[in-house]
């Protein structure tokens, strides 16, 4: 077991060396990857909580990665919104848990936010075509179960605090956002443009991010009304 752990730590050291992480940060990342080996799709993260929920009119599920998971409920006081974000998750992993964390909860709307970890190859290399397949599968599942969809853009990054653009190149972010916007338009789905609201030039506006990847409170405050508007648009459609 120690040998496997050492190999994983070595692999992570090479994969994340561009960010010059400390040993403590690497160990934290290693522990996260250990959990992934035990539960790749993240089905245990919200499984028990989901089982205790009762039906609620107007429910909205925010499905996403760490950008969603770190978004506190204080930005939507009194709203029947459920946060189903999981740090480091990719589009493929969200597809695995889509039935449990979205369909089974019978929401009126699902807000899908994903892609930044695919671009960073957190779970290994992923092409735009593969990501597109997974996004389309989630949209088709939602429609089959009469759930309205909002598709969110990938948020910008910056090298304001640590090196982020090496793993998430601006060109790849723009390309994936272009596909998401086009696909949403073709299918009558609201496109939630977080990117345009958070970017300055081609990078995450420093005053709106905590580390160059995650929004800070001011960033989430910018995002919240945009999400509300997109949700209302989805319901109206």
Distance separating alpha carbons of residues 62 and 194, to the nearest angstrom: 14
- The pLDDT of residue 18 is 42
| pLDDT surpasses 60 at 13 | no
Smallest CA-to-CA distance from 109 within 149, 80, 155 is with 149
Architecture category of domain 56-236 in CATH: 3-Layer(aba) Sandwich (3.40)
Distance separating alpha carbons of residues 188 and 35, to the nearest angstrom: 37
Q: Which residue has the higher pLDDT, 13 or 212?
A: 212
- The pLDDT of residue 21 is 59
216 class by beta-carbon count within 10 Å (0-12 exposed, 13-18 middle, 19+ buried): middle
**Mean pLDDT, the chain, as a whole number?**
91
Distance separating alpha carbons of residues 91 and 79, to the nearest angstrom: 26
- The pLDDT of residue 30 is 76
Smallest CA-to-CA distance from 82 within 100, 119, 107 is with 107
Distance separating alpha carbons of residues 95 and 64, to the nearest angstrom: 11
Taking a C-beta distance cutoff of 8 angstroms, is the pair 62, 68 a contact? yes
Structure tokens at 174: 């723009």
Taking a C-beta distance cutoff of 8 angstroms, is the pair 174, 168 a contact? no
- How does residue 219 score in pLDDT terms, banded at 50, 70 and 90? very high
| pLDDT surpasses 50 at 80 | yes
Partnered with residue 211 across adjacent β-strands are none
Please state the domain extents for the chain: 1-39, 56-236
- The pLDDT of residue 25 is 64
Mean pLDDT of the region 49-60: 96
Distance separating alpha carbons of residues 66 and 46, to the nearest angstrom: 14
Taking a C-beta distance cutoff of 8 angstroms, is the pair 208, 158 a contact? no
Distance separating alpha carbons of residues 133 and 187, to the nearest angstrom: 15
> Considering the entire predicted model, what is its pTM?
0.88
Smallest CA-to-CA distance from 103 within 67, 135, 148 is with 148
**How remote is the C-alpha of 29 from its chain's centroid?**
18
């Amino acid at each position: 077991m120690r040998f496997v752990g050492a190999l994983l730590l070595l692999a992570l050291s090479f994969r994340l060396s561009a960010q010059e992480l400390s040993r403590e940060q690497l160990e934290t990342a290693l522990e996260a990857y250990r959990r992934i080996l035990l539960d790749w799709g993240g089905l245990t993260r919200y499984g028990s909580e989901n089982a205790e929920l009762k039906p609620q009119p107007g429910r909205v599920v925010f499905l996403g990665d760490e950008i969603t998971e770190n978004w506190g409920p204080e930005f939507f006081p009194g709203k029947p919104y459920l946060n189903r974000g999981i740090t480091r998750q990719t589009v493929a992993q969200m597809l695995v848990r889509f039935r449990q964390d979205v369909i089974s909860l019978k929401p009126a709307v699902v807000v899908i936010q994903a892609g930044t970890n695919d671009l960073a190859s957190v779970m290994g290399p992923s092409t735009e075509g593969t990501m597109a397949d997974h996004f389309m599968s989630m949209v088709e599942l939602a429609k089959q179960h009469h759930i309205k969809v909002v598709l969110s853009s990938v948020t910008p990054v910056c090298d304001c605090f640590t090196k982020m653009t090496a793993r998430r190149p601006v060109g790849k972010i723009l390309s994936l956002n272009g596909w998401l916007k086009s696909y949403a338009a073709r299918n009558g789905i609201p496109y939630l443009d977080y990117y345009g609201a958070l970017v300055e030039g081609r990078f995450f506006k420093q005053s709106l991010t905590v580390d160059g990847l995650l929004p800070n409170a001011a960033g989430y405050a910018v995002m919240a009304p945009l999400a509300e508007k997109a949700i209302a648009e989805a319901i109206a459609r």
